[in-house]
Amino acid sequence: MTTIAAPLPRGRPRGIDLSRPVMLGLAAVLCVLIVLPVSQLAWHAVVDRDGAPTLENFRRLWSDPAFVEPMLTTLTLATSVSVACCVVAAPIGWLVARTDLPFTGVVRALVMASFVTPPFLGAVAWEILAAPNSGLLNQWYRSLTGAGTDEYLVNVYSMGGLIFVIACYTFPYVFVLVSNALDRIPSDLEDASAILGGRTWRTAARITIPLALPALLAGGLVAFLQAMILFGSPAILALPAGFHTMTTKIWSLFQYPPKPGLAAAAALPLLLITIVLLRGQQWLMGRRGYTVVGGRSGRPRPTALGLLRWPALGLCLAVLACSVFLPYGALVKTAFSRVPSQPVSFDNLTLQHVRFVLFEFSGTRLALQNTFLLGVLSATLGTGLALVVAYLSGRRAVPGHRTLAFLATAPVSIPGIVLGVGLFLSYTRPPFVLYGTLWILLIAYITIELPAAYQQLQSALKAVHPELEEASRILGATRLQALGHVTAPLLRSGVIAAWCFVFIGTMRELSAAIMLFTADTKVISVVIFDLNESGDLGAISVLGIAMLLITFAVVLLVNRIPGLGGWRPARPGG
81-140 residues in contact with other proteins (CB under 8 A) are: 131-135
Among 435, 445, 499, 501, binds other proteins (CB under 8 A): 435
Distance (Å, rounded) from C-alpha 252 to C-alpha 206? 49
* φ, ψ at 99 (rounded to 5°): -125, 175
Should residue 54 be labelled a site residue for other proteins when binding is judged by CB under 8 A? Answer: no
Amino acid symbol at 177: L
| Contact assessment for residue 528 and residue 364, using Cβ atoms and an 8 Å cutoff | no
> How many C-beta atoms surround the C-beta of residue 54 within 10 A?
15
Distance (Å, rounded) from C-alpha 525 to C-alpha 521? 12
Should residue 345 be labelled a site residue for other proteins when binding is judged by CB under 8 A? Answer: no
Should residue 570 be labelled a site residue for other proteins when binding is judged by CB under 8 A? Answer: yes
Rank residues 121 and 235 by Cβ distance to other proteins and give the closer one. Answer: 235
Find the DSSP H helices in 52-186: 56-63, 65-98, 104-116, 119-130, 136-145, 159-184
Among 341, 350, 455, 559, binds other proteins (CB under 8 A): 341
> How many C-beta atoms surround the C-beta of residue 521 within 10 A?
21
* Crossing angle for the helix pair 232-241 and 119-130, to the nearest 10 degrees: 30
Determine the interface stretch with other proteins among 180-188, 252-260, 267-275, 379-387 (rule: CB under 8 A).
Answer: 252-260
- Cα angle vertex 122, ends 89, 118, to 5°? 85
Among 536, 541, 547, 555, binds other proteins (CB under 8 A): 536
Should residue 50 be labelled a site residue for other proteins when binding is judged by CB under 8 A? Answer: no
Q: How many CA atoms lie within 13 A of 15 on its CB side?
A: 3
Element (H, E) at 512: none
Distance (Å, rounded) from C-alpha 21 to C-alpha 29? 12
- 533, 528, 368, 388: which is closest to 454 by C-alpha? 388
Q: How far is the CB of 306 from other proteins (least distance, A)?
A: 33
Should residue 351 be labelled a site residue for other proteins when binding is judged by CB under 8 A? Answer: no
Among 2, 3, 291, 534, binds other proteins (CB under 8 A): 534
Cis peptide before 9 (omega within 30 of 0): no
| Contact assessment for residue 558 and residue 499, using Cβ atoms and an 8 Å cutoff | yes
Q: How far is the CB of 459 from other proteins (least distance, A)?
A: 17
Should residue 462 be labelled a site residue for other proteins when binding is judged by CB under 8 A? Answer: no
Q: How far is the CB of 471 from other proteins (least distance, A)?
A: 4
Should residue 69 be labelled a site residue for other proteins when binding is judged by CB under 8 A? Answer: yes
Should residue 474 be labelled a site residue for other proteins when binding is judged by CB under 8 A? Answer: yes
Among 231, 254, 336, 503, binds other proteins (CB under 8 A): 254
Should residue 144 be labelled a site residue for other proteins when binding is judged by CB under 8 A? Answer: no
Distance (Å, rounded) from C-alpha 382 to C-alpha 451? 10
Rank residues 96 and 253 by Cβ distance to other proteins and give the closer one. Answer: 253
Should residue 231 be labelled a site residue for other proteins when binding is judged by CB under 8 A? Answer: no
Rank residues 282 and 518 by Cβ distance to other proteins and give the closer one. Answer: 518
Should residue 146 be labelled a site residue for other proteins when binding is judged by CB under 8 A? Answer: no
Q: How far is the CB of 230 from other proteins (least distance, A)?
A: 17
For residue 439, CA distances in Å to 33, 169, 412, 565 come to 12, 28, 21, 35
Determine the interface stretch with other proteins among 192-200, 223-231, 384-392, 470-478 (rule: CB under 8 A).
Answer: 470-478
Should residue 286 be labelled a site residue for other proteins when binding is judged by CB under 8 A? Answer: no
For residue 453, CA distances in Å to 43, 70, 232 come to 29, 31, 23
Q: How far is the CB of 391 from other proteins (least distance, A)?
A: 16
Among 252, 281, 350, 380, binds other proteins (CB under 8 A): 252
Rank residues 50 and 150 by Cβ distance to other proteins and give the closer one. Answer: 150
Should residue 470 be labelled a site residue for other proteins when binding is judged by CB under 8 A? Answer: yes
Should residue 186 be labelled a site residue for other proteins when binding is judged by CB under 8 A? Answer: no
Should residue 465 be labelled a site residue for other proteins when binding is judged by CB under 8 A? Answer: yes
Q: How far is the CB of 112 from other proteins (least distance, A)?
A: 26
Determine the interface stretch with other proteins among 82-90, 172-180, 372-380, 464-472 (rule: CB under 8 A).
Answer: 464-472
Among 109, 321, 351, 433, binds other proteins (CB under 8 A): 433
Distance (Å, rounded) from C-alpha 72 to C-alpha 190? 43
Among 468, 496, 546, 558, binds other proteins (CB under 8 A): 468
> Would you state the torsion angle of the CA atoms of residues 505, 510, 511, 517, taken in this order, to the nearest 10 degrees?
120
